[in-house]
């Protein structure tokens, strides 16, 4: 630790910061090494399906401390990454047609077939970045023109959109839903013939809504353990320790390591609102072909604010300009399924780089390719000990 006399006071704030205690984190890292060692095989592969887990792992630099024998794969859990190209195109096309779009910051730079929302904005389209769907509704109230909320994110985020729809938004507010539902894609990954995944770390916040019980049929069917974990460093490390224990002991159960937010049944009130507004349909996830029940669309009762039904979205005009070749070579799907690594991709580091991405895995701060590119290959900073006087 660099010693600075009388540094800036940092208030401890919320008790959640107990889950960032470095001492306990180090102890859990050591424990993880021990349990993985006991499994006696290498590598042991586990998968998480949450962009925020990857974000937390990357942000706190946890990969540098994970045991070498443990392979933590990022699965298809980044909602921006798996929003299919035609869906992005719908948003881009609408914006290009002069319709005002509001969306979360995460989605603005994701490339569609031809361009991203940022690109069409540079050409004069109106694209507003919002931090909450409520902000989009408030914006709609203030303007007279139509406002289409390009709704992305998994079920946790879809709940907010549902709540906004149920709160009687103004007549000029529309929703273009690209929301996704996670449980079905875990099935697909588990069923992939090449899959080497031995256990799953499930997203704590999604489970806050759905409950952990939703994973029991999955575990029974595939005989793979699932541990529900939160997002602080201690949560992730403890979740991995527990998962490693279950793999070592060959126990296929669901274990809830995020009890402060997750219960068996979840938040029934939120679920009720979610399914009142949305219905699940099958659809393509970027690079992962068809996911049954993986997409959320507005039910018929809400047709009046469904952008797909109220606007004539002209995709063909957009596709006339499409340089489709690069997108065809993109293997984001295999990477997200944990079957291939970024270095297996012919575009990685060449045509596809963070400042000029082809696939969404390179766009999102959570995408596997983005993180590999930042680390210059497989993340390995384990050699850096304390350089500063501690």
Partner 1 sequence: MLSVLDERITLKYGAGGRAMRALIQEVFLDGMTAVCADDEIGPAHMDDGAALRVGDRWLVVTTDSHVIHPVFFPGGDIGRLAVSGTVNDLAVMGATDPLALTCAVIIEEGFARTDLVRIQRSIREACQEAGVAVVTGDTKVMGKGELDGIVLNTTGVAMTGRVVPDSGLRVGDVLIVTGTLGDHGMAIMARRHDLTLDERLQSDVAPLNGLIRAALGAAPDAIVAMKDPTRGGLASALHEMAEKSRVGIIVDETALPVTAPVRAASELLGIDPLHVANEGKAVLGVRPDAAPSVLRALRAHALGREAAIIGQCTDQRIGSVILDTGFGRRLVTEPEGELLPRIC
Partner 2 sequence: MCLGVPGKVIDVNGLIATVDFWGVRKQVRLEVVDEPVQPGDYILNHVGYAIRRIPDAEIDATLALYEELLARAESEDDLMAADIRAEIHGAGDDQ
209 binds partner 2 (CB under 8 A): yes
* Residues forming beta bridges with residue 47, ordered by sequence position: 73, 200
The angle that helices 233-248 and 22-39 make with each other, rounded to 10 degrees, is: 20
Q: How far is the CB of 59 from partner 1 (least distance, A)?
A: 7
Among 159, 247, 330, 352, binds partner 2 (CB under 8 A): 159
14 binds partner 2 (CB under 8 A): yes
58 binds partner 1 (CB under 8 A): yes
H-type alpha helices, the chain: 22-39, 51-59, 79-82, 85-96, 117-122, 133-142, 155-166, 183-191, 204-210, 216-222, 233-248, 268-277, 307-310, 315-319, 325-329, 332-336, 360-363, 368-375
161 binds partner 1 (CB under 8 A): no
Q: Scan for tokens 């959570």, then name that residue.
A: 366
Residues 48-107 that bind partner 2 (CB under 8 A): 50-52, 67, 77, 79, 104
60 binds partner 1 (CB under 8 A): yes
Residue 91 or residue 225: which is nearer to partner 1 going by CB? 91
Q: How far is the CB of 329 from partner 2 (least distance, A)?
A: 29
Range 273-282 contact pairs with CB under 8 angstroms and sequence separation of 24 or more: 273/159, 273/162, 273/163, 273/166, 274/155, 274/158, 274/159, 274/162, 274/209, 276/162, 276/166, 277/161, 277/162, 277/165, 277/166, 277/302, 278/158, 278/162, 278/177, 278/179, 280/181, 280/184
Among 8, 171, 289, 325, binds partner 1 (CB under 8 A): 8
Tokens of 352: 């596809």
Q: How far is the CB of 7 from partner 1 (least distance, A)?
A: 6
Q: How far is the CB of 45 from partner 2 (least distance, A)?
A: 20
47 binds partner 2 (CB under 8 A): no
185 binds, among partner 1, partner 2, none (CB under 5 to 8 A by kind): none
Q: Scan for tokens 């460093």, then name that residue.
A: 233
Among 10, 250, 316, 350, binds partner 1 (CB under 8 A): 10
Q: Which of 13, 4, 54, 10 is nearest to 229 (CA)?
A: 54
Residue 93 or residue 206: which is nearer to partner 2 going by CB? 206
Q: Which stretch binds partner 2 (CB under 8 A): 115-123, 254-262, 332-340, 349-357?
A: 254-262
Rg (CA), the chain: 22
Tokens of 298: 């507005």
Length in residues, the chain: 390
Among 18, 30, 34, 61, binds partner 1 (CB under 8 A): 61
Residue 265 or residue 329: which is nearer to partner 2 going by CB? 265
Among 109, 196, 205, 299, binds partner 2 (CB under 8 A): 205
388 binds partner 2 (CB under 8 A): no
153 binds partner 2 (CB under 8 A): yes
Q: Scan for tokens 């005989």, then name that residue.
A: 223
Q: Scan for tokens 């527990």, then name that residue.
A: 242
Q: How far is the CB of 246 from partner 1 (least distance, A)?
A: 24
Alpha carbon separation from 164 to 136, 176, 205, 239, 284 (Å, rounded): 10, 13, 19, 33, 26
Residues 229-248 that bind partner 1 (CB under 8 A): 233
Residue 120 or residue 188: which is nearer to partner 1 going by CB? 120
DSSP 284: E
Give me the residues that bind partner 1 (CB under 8 A), please: 1-2, 4-5, 7-11, 13, 20, 22, 25-26, 51-52, 55, 58-65, 78-80, 104-106, 108-109, 118-119, 122-123, 129-132, 135, 153, 157, 233, 354-356, 364-366, 374-376, 379, 381-384, 386-388
């Amino acid at each position: 630790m660099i010693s600075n006399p009388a540094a800036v006071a940092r208030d401890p704030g919320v008790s959640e910061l107990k889950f960032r205690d470095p001492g306990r984190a180090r102890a859990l890292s050591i424990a993880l090494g021990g349990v993985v060692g006991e499994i006696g095989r290498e590598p042991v592969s586990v998968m998480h399906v949450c962009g925020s887990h990857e974000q937390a792992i990357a942000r706190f630099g946890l990969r540098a401390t994970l045991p070498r024998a443990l392979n933590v794969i990022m699965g298809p859990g980044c909602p921006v990454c798996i929003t299919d190209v035609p869906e992005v195109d719908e948003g881009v096309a609408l914006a290009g047609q002069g319709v005002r779009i509001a969306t979360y910051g995460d989605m603005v730079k994701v490339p569609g077939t031809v361009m991203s929302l940022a690109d069409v904005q540079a050409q004069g389209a109106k694209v507003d970045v919002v931090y909450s769907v409520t902000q989009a509704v408030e914006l709609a109230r203030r303007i007279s023109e139509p406002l289409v909320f390009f709704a992305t994110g998994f079920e946790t985020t879809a709940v907010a959109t549902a709540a906004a729809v149920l709160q009687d938004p103004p007549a000029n507010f529309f929703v273009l839903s690209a929301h996704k539902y996670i449980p079905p894609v875990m099935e697909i990954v588990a069923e992939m013939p090449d899959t080497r995944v031995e256990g799953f770390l499930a997203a704590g916040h999604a489970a806050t809504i759905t409950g952990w019980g939703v994973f029991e049929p999955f575990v029974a069917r595939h005989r793979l353990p699932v541990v529900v974990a939160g997002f602080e460093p201690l949560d992730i490390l403890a979740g991995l320790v527990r998962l490693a224990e279950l793999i070592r002991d060959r126990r296929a159960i669901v274990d809830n390591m995020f009890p402060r937010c997750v219960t068996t049944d979840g938040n029934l009130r939120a679920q009720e609102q979610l399914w009142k507004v949305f219905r699940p349909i099958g659809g393509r996830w970027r690079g992962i072909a068809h996911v049954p029940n993986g997409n959320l669309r507005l039910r018929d009762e809400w047709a009046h604010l469904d952008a797909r039904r109220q606007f004539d979205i002209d995709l063909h005009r957009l596709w006339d300009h499409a340089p489709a070749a690069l997108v065809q070579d993109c293997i984001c799907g295999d990477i997200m399924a944990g079957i291939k690594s970024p270095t297996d991709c012919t575009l990685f580091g060449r045509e596809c780089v963070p400042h000029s991405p082809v696939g969404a895995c390179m766009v999102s701060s959570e995408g596997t390719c983005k993180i590999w590119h930042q680390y210059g290959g497989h993340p390995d900073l384990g050699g850096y000990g304390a350089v500063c006087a501690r």
